[in-house]
A and B are shown apart, each in its own frame.
Chain A
Amino acid sequence: MMQLIWNGLIVGSFYALVALGYSMVYGIIKLLNFAHGDIYMLGAFVGFFTLSAFGISNETSIPLLLVVLLLSMVTTGLIGVGIERIAYRPLRRSPRLAVLITAIGVSFTLEYGVRQIFGPNPEAFPIRLESSGFDVLGMRVTASQIVLVVIAAVLMLVLAHIVERTRQGRAMRAIALDPTGAQLMGVNVDRVIAMVFFIGSALAGAAGVMAGAYYGSIDFLMGFIIGLKAFTAAVIGGIGNLYGAMLGGVLLGMLESFGSAWFGGEWRDVFAFGFLILFLTLKPTGLLGARVVERM
């Protein structure tokens, strides 16, 4: 029982990190960034590439993981900004369908670009976390799992600080409320949106590296399912709401953990998507989302 909760918490913290980026981008420009899951995959591959370039493999050091994490975050953040600049910004005033299709194109490009570079087979992530652990409250916990959860928590706290306490964060919230109004008040909308993409992509990249270290193997399609699940998490929590994304991520992690324990692991994804559909049908604003009035 406790074990299920703990496992759910770890997976849920990955979901939450990816969901944050989804939710931020959606909150600010109402765009479903389908490529977001693939940024997560890119994060893992950036980590893999740097470590392989230095000839490191089967390492267990946690400081090294942190360095790689930081590096991946910066790289994926910049990639996210580049994607926004090339693919999304020119279409900001087009019909929604056009941007959605573009986002799928970007997702495809990232996935199969990585496939062409690294090959279709899964790669072993060079940092492996040691599996020795200790028993607390009837659940098996390893030190590295705690590190992962702590990293995720710290990143979320930093994000919450940025959004709620800084000037840039205020600009983000202003744009989410009313882009034109924010622009009239002197907010540099393009720059703030680029920054949102940077932060969101960096978080996804961090989740990618952490997942690589946690699961041990990475492949070019790893972002697809997690993108879908992170969206589910964002919807469960209330899309556009940061704490909602965090809550939704952890909740989804737990639901899956229990769901696969009760129904069998092969139904895990069905369970998660079933929840997505249930939530969208019954409560599209999610648990913490405010009621949104469509403006025409």
Chain B
Amino acid sequence: MVRDLDHALKHVSLRAPAPRFERPRPPRGVFTSQQGFMRALGVGAVLLVAVLPFMDASRYTMSIATSALIYVMLCMGLNVVVGYAGLLDLGYIAFFAVGAYISGIFTTVLGWPMWAALIATIVACVTAGIIIGAPTLRLRSDYLAIVTLGFGEIIRITANNLKITGGPSGIHGIPTWSFGPWSFDDGFNLFGIDFPERVVFYYFVAAVVIVVGVIGAGRLAKGRLGRAWKAVRDDEDAAEAMGINTYIAKISAYIIGAVWAGMAGQLMATHLSAISPNSFQFLYSALILMAVVLGGMGSTPGVIIGALFVSLAPELLRDFAEWRYLIFGVLLVVVMLFRPSGLWPATAVLPWLRRTRPTPPAFTEATAVPASVMESVDGTPTTDAHEGDRA
């Protein structure tokens, strides 16, 4: 028997077999890799944003384009909170309100320049994020949703009631960006192209902030913190067991969401130069959530598409404006029921790069263990039935 086994093992190589197929190099290039394509898409989008004012710099186009960009900023911020960290924030517009009001108050009442107000805004939003997040983030996710909803209403009602926020009529005459003696109102001449409209400047400021915001949020999501967020989202207990401080992860997501919204709020305040509590209703929190869910939670291109859809659709389709909230509500349900990962899911792979798992090599005579080996190992002759089972 022992001699038989030795005899049998003579045929079995103890070295690892050479790979059957050469290991493929990770593909590069625009159309041959996911990463390359997404980068190209990003560069294309940035170029489009940069070129738009040179194609159509009318006040109307610039105005809705700026609003759309601000929506993108807001949605990217909410995407950090909802998409990456899995915390449902229904009062997200509150941070937008904090940003808008802080910059409005600091520039009109205190007379600070806009760049200083920007710093104040960020500080205020971090503070607001901690104040709202610290007590609530220990709660279960559905409690968190309703508490944030309550906070959103508290901020709006407070803005409506206080004197310093201008009460129901809000703040007017928020000044534009100014650097020393020169402000956006003065106009500018660049390479022979005249920029008389301050609207165009807001557009550029918004564009720069939003491009930085989008890239920043996307890169945060890929880093250590981002992976912690996703782990917490997928299974909080498991994440904690893996050594992630879930509370810190959640509150940092919350603070980053707050800062993004606050910057969007400041952009909005300077863009419109007037703000009022009515712009910060729950409706808008729900709209931003709608954009994130529709586009795909946790997916940068999806969220941008969602934001553009939610902000531009009522402008482009006037008949749609009347029905939009009803349609958005139905869409929210339908998307959750039938495509919970959204239009452009975070895990999407370009269709032409999609590969199925390589099929294992077919069972052939060459790969089969020789029949004689089988015979001698288990001591019984292999039968045809055996072969049939394995094939």
- The chain A residues found within 8 Å of chain B, CB to CB, are 30-32, 86-87, 90-91, 94-102, 104-113, 115-116, 224-225, 228, 231-232, 235, 266-267, 269-270, 273-274, 276-277, 280-281, 284, 294, 296
Contact = CB atoms under 8 A, between A and B. Distances in A.
B340 A277 contact: no
B154 A97 contact: no
Interface in B126-173: 135-136, 139-143, 145-147, 149-151, 153-154, 157-158, 160-161
27 contacts: A32-B145, A32-B146, A86-B333, A96-B141, A100-B88, A100-B145, A101-B88, A104-B289, A107-B329, A108-B328, A108-B329, A111-B329, A112-B326, A224-B282, A225-B153, A228-B153, A235-B143, A266-B161, A267-B161, A269-B154, A269-B157, A270-B153, A273-B150, A276-B147, A280-B136, A280-B147, A281-B139
A270 B156 CA distance: 10
B336 A266 contact: no
Given A270-B154, A273-B153, A100 B142 contact: yes
Contacts of A30: 142
Nearest to B235: A296
B337 interface: yes
A212 to B, nearest CB: 22
B88 A276 contact: no
A107 to B, nearest CB: 7
Contact of B336 (A91, A224, A231): A91
Nearest to A94: B340
A102 B336 contact: yes
A280 B147 CA distance: 8
B151 A273 contact: yes
B143 A284 contact: yes
A111 B333 contact: no
Interface string B212-254: 0000000000000000000000000100000000000000000
B108 to A, nearest CB: 23
Interface in B150-206: 150-151, 153-154, 157-158, 160-161
Contacts of A296: 237
A91 B146 contact: no
Contacts of A32: 142, 145-146
Contacts of B350: none
B88 A105 contact: no
Given A100-B88, A266-B157, A228 B149 contact: yes
B31 interface: no
Given A102-B336, A116-B322, A224-B282, 20 more contacts: A91-B336, A95-B86, A96-B141, A97-B86, A100-B145, A101-B289, A101-B336, A105-B331, A105-B333, A108-B328, A109-B329, A109-B333, A111-B325, A269-B153, A270-B154, A270-B161, A273-B151, A277-B151, A281-B136, A281-B139
A104 B89 CA distance: 12
Contacts of B153: 225, 228, 269-270, 273
Nearest to A275: B150
Nearest to A273: B150
A100 B333 CA distance: 10
B323 interface: yes
Given A105-B331, A112-B326, A296-B237, A231 B154 contact: no
B88 A281 contact: no
B340 A98 contact: yes
